[in-house]
Amino acid sequence: MQTGNRPVRMSDERPGTIYGRRLREARESYGYSQTDLGIAAGLDESGTGSLISRYENGIHLPRVDRQKLLAKTLELPLTYFYTEDDDAARLIAASSRSEKPVNKLIEIKRKRKRK
């Protein structure tokens, strides 16, 4: 795919749904890989990265219970993931910012090093 004169990488493209876009923004804001987010949420480690990728790219929309689980993992209200206005979404994310996801990521990385 090309935009103007330069090729567009897949990572340059915006996710297909507002949910997917917000999920990616939230995940990246805490430095999580797709696999790390799935592990932090308690999902099965095998294939979790591709599952999160499908959510982010709008290929699949997770069930509400899984949306709530991912929101809780990232310490964000579910409404954040459906807020279309970028400024409003930033305000929600900033007011909800927590160290819990950061600490969880550190814990995951420590466990992976031991393996």
Q: Judge residue 38's burial from the number of C-beta atoms within 10 Å of its C-beta, 0-12 exposed, 13-18 middle, 19 or more buried.
A: buried
Give the domain ranges of the chain: 2-114
Tens-binned pLDDT, residue by residue, of the chain (115 aa): 343 444 434 444 555 899 999 999 999 999 999 999 999 999 998 899 999 999 999 999 999 999 999 999 999 999 999 999 999 999 999 999 999 999 999 999 998 888 6
pTM for the full model? 0.83
State the fold for domain 2-114.
434 Repressor (Amino-terminal Domain) (1.10.260)
Residue from 114, 93, 110 nearest 36 by CA: 110
User: Residue 72: what are its φ and ψ, rounded to 5°?
Assistant: -65, -40
